[in-house]
Amino acid sequence: MRYSKDKVLTQSIVMRSKSGTIRFVDGEHQASKWEGYARK
């Protein structure tokens, strides 16, 4: 997770063994919804 002034950025990877497909997913979330979580 990365934090900016008003956003939380996340990255995920999805791998499918049957087809061998690898997908990268970038997420952008409003920081105001994450106020209850500690920054590490």
**DSSP letter, residue 6:** S
- Full residue range of the structural domain in which residue 17 is found: 2-33
* Inside any domain, residue 39: no
Give the alpha-carbon dihedral of 13, 4, 29, 9, to 10 degrees: 0
Quick one: tokens of 12? 């995920």
- pTM of the entire predicted model: 0.56
- How far is 21 from 5, CA to CA, in rounded Å? 34
* Inside any domain, residue 38: no
What tens digit of pLDDT does each residue of 1-40 get?
Answer: 888 888 888 999 999 999 999 999 999 988 887 666 655 5
How many structural domains are present in the chain?
Answer: 1
The pLDDT of residue 38 is 56
Q: In what order do the strands lie in the sheet with 7-15?
A: 2-3, 7-15, 22-30
